[in-house]
Amino acid sequence: MNYPWEANIRKVEPYTPGEQPTDPSIIKLNTNENPYGPSEDIKKAMKDLSTDLFKKYPDAKATELVNELADYHKVGRDQVFVGVGSDDVLGMCFMTFFNSEKPILFPDITYSFYPVWAELLNIPFKTLALDDSFEICVEDYLQENGGVVIPNPNAPTSILFGKDKIEKILEANKSNIIIIDEAYIDFAEEGSSVINLIDKYDNLVVVRTFSKSRSLAGLRVGYAVSNPVLIKYLNDVKYSYNSYTMNYPSIKLGSAVIKDEEYFRTTIKKIVDTRSWFTDELRKLGFSLPDSSTNFVFPEHKSVPAKEIFEAAKKNKIYFRYFNLPRIDNRLRITIGTDEEMKTVVEFLQDYLKNK
């Protein structure tokens, strides 16, 4: 139907989030959630929530959460910005920092939300090809640009980008903002984060999320750490758009989760151990895959097409993620679940591939 107002509507090609099935018997390994729930501290904090407080607006500055995060990362309280998941934080960063007429740069194979925000906000962009091993080529990011965004580790490749290479990009781009999206950094080798470089480079913004390593995808909390000047610019844009992004439960529960460091470390270790076992099993089954620094792996089978495996697994109530995109359309992205879940996956694959 042709509506008379059609010409005045902004038309966009939206981001496609992973499927969220409701059947609890499905082994859901398609959206990189953490199979171990949040800590006991969260359950306690939930009980302590006062429904009476819902009548009031929340603290627009989310002070309690900002302070907890600042103390956790040993940075100033004016160096943290919080949002509704890191998607919200990244969207705000694009809006605030990418206002050049020169194109922003990001890898050709990366988080598929980046081109969507760029299109939505009319930000020119250029994608730069990963090499044949899916590694980011640092030299590509030394050309003129209007800003850079790189996930580290990259998704969906699962590969970590060296800190020395990030420093090279920061050095070469003193008049542009460099966003490092560390959604999966807690699953990488210790010391891989660049948060400790924010005082050295005033063009660096590091973005983090509670959705993966903190098991809180459903709560929607993300944050950025940077210098006070850039954090102020981010807040100015946020207050010009929506002041009350962080609701009262997110502030309270988000603040509680940071306190349980022991549980946090234990669940990360479990996932990393399972990842190592699962990677070996996949290789025995004829898959090749990069060593993962995330809570997912990115395998390709030597003879069976990824799409077929994806569909067969789905019929068996095992959900993987499949991207029908150039260069990666023969790969699966498989989230690391519990040991039990991953054993079931291996059994399914052994059985399925036997007849191929």
Q: How far is the CB of 9 from ligand PMP (least distance, A)?
A: 26
35 contact partners, CB below 8 Å, separation of at least 6: 271, 336, 337, 338, 341
Using CB under 6 A, which of the segments 115-123, 132-140, 209-217, 320-328 binds ligand PMP?
209-217
Stretch that binds ligand PMP, among 84-92, 223-231, 273-281, 306-314 (CB under 6 A): 84-92
Residue 285 burial class via C-beta count within 10 angstroms: exposed 0-12, middle 13-18, buried 19 and up: middle
Q: Which of 181, 186, 300, 341 binds ligand PMP (CB under 6 A)?
A: 181
Shorter beta-carbon distance to ligand PMP: residue 180 or 289: 180
Considering only 51-59, 83-91, 129-137, 297-305, which stretch makes contact with ligand PMP by CB under 6 A?
83-91
Residue 163: C-alpha distances to residues 147, 189, 265 (Å): 18, 11, 22
| Smallest separation, CB 217 to ligand PMP (Å) | 5
Out of 35, 38, 58, 85, point to the residue binding ligand PMP (CB under 6 A): 85
Task: For the CB of residue 113, give the shortest distance to ligand PMP in the complex, in Å.
Answer: 7
Task: Give whichever of 113 and 310 is closer to ligand PMP, judged by the CB atom.
Answer: 113
Q: How far is the CB of 336 from ligand PMP (least distance, A)?
A: 14
CB of 197 to ligand PMP, least distance (A): 19
Q: In the complex with ligand PMP, which residue's Cβ is closer, 91 or 304? A: 91
28-57 binders of ligand PMP (CB under 6 A): none
> How many Å apart are CA 146 and CA 94, to the nearest integer?
11
| Count of residues in contact with ligand PMP, rule CB under 6 A | 12
Cα separations (Å) of 107 from 179, 194, 327? 13, 19, 13
Residue closer to ligand PMP, measured from CB, 130 or 349: 130
- Please tell me the distance from the alpha carbon of residue 215 to that of residue 28, in angstroms, as a whole number: 14
**In the complex, minimum distance from the CB of residue 189 to ligand PMP, in angstroms, rounded to a whole number:** 18
d(CA 47, CA 254): 14
Among 38, 222, 254, 337, binds ligand PMP (CB under 6 A): 222
Dihedral (CA of 43, 18, 121, 174) sign: positive
Stretch that binds ligand PMP, among 85-93, 127-135, 278-286, 339-347 (CB under 6 A): 85-93
Question: For 319, what's the count of Cα atoms within 13 Å in the CB-facing half-sphere?
Answer: 16
Q: Which of 45, 66, 79, 87 binds ligand PMP (CB under 6 A)?
A: 87
The dihedral formed by the CA atoms of 125, 82, 46 and 72, expressed in degrees to the nearest 10:
110
Report the site for ligand PMP in 120-179 (rule: CB under 6 A).
Answer: 151, 155
Question: Shortest gap between Cβ of 245 and ligand PMP (angstroms)?
Answer: 12
- Only one residue has tokens 């067969």, namely 312
**Binders in 256-315 for ligand PMP, by CB under 6 A:** none
User: Sign (positive/negative) of CA torsion 253, 254, 255, 257?
Assistant: positive
Question: 238 with 214: CB under 8 angstroms?
Answer: no
Cβ neighbors of 71 (< 8 A, separation 6 or more) are: none
Q: Which of 211, 227, 245, 274 binds ligand PMP (CB under 6 A)?
A: 211
Q: Is residue 193 involved in binding ligand PMP (CB under 6 A)?
A: no
Residue type, 117: W
Q: Minimum distance from CB of 318 to ligand PMP (Å)?
A: 20
Closest to ligand PMP by CB, 188 or 304: 188
d(CA 123, CA 102): 9
Q: Distance between CA atoms of 57 and 65, rounded to whole angstroms?
A: 16
**Cis before 153 (ω within 30):** yes
Cβ-based neighbour number of residue 202 at 10 Å = 13
Shortest Å distance, C-beta 34 to ligand PMP: 11
Sites of contact with ligand PMP (CB under 6 A): 85-87, 111, 151, 155, 181, 183, 209, 211, 217, 222
